[in-house]
Amino acid sequence: MSFGLTIEKMLLIGIIALFLIGPDRLPAYSAQLGRLIRHLRDMASGAKNRMRDELGPDFDDMDWKKLDPRQYDPRRIIREALREDPSAAAADVEAEPVVIESAYQRRKRFSGAGKPAPFDPDLT
């Protein structure tokens, strides 16, 4: 996780920071940076402990490398999907036909279409 920073670039950034900050404020800023890093480590370990508490004993048994997004190669996934047997996938789809009812048909069914309209002689 060096974000493309080489040793030379980091040394150059450090020298520029030394000149910009100056020797008077450098100890205060370095202490503040140390506190920030310590706080971030505490937050990361707290999140890890919280996950361990919520997931229980399964947390230690999980294979975290399997969930790493860097391992997913879209070309490999598509290649494997194309190699699969299409009839096995189609068997699940063709289980039972589904009838989709439109809003008009649903309203017509609930309103009692096909039945005679109620007649009230006092209103007519």
DSSP state of 112: T
- Distance of alpha carbon 60 from alpha carbon 48, whole angstroms: 11
pLDDT at 64 over 60: yes
Give me the pLDDT at residue 45, please: 95
Q: pLDDT tens across 26-63, in order?
A: 889 889 999 999 999 999 999 989 988 888 877 777 78
Give the dihedral sign, CA 108/114/117/118.
Answer: negative
| pLDDT score of 73 more than 60 | yes
Q: What's the pLDDT score for residue 40?
A: 97
Residue 44 confidence (pLDDT) = 95
Q: Where are the domains positioned within the chain?
A: 7-111
What span, in angstroms and rounded, lies between the C-alpha atoms of 22 and 17? Answer: 8
Q: Which pLDDT score is estimated for 124?
A: 65
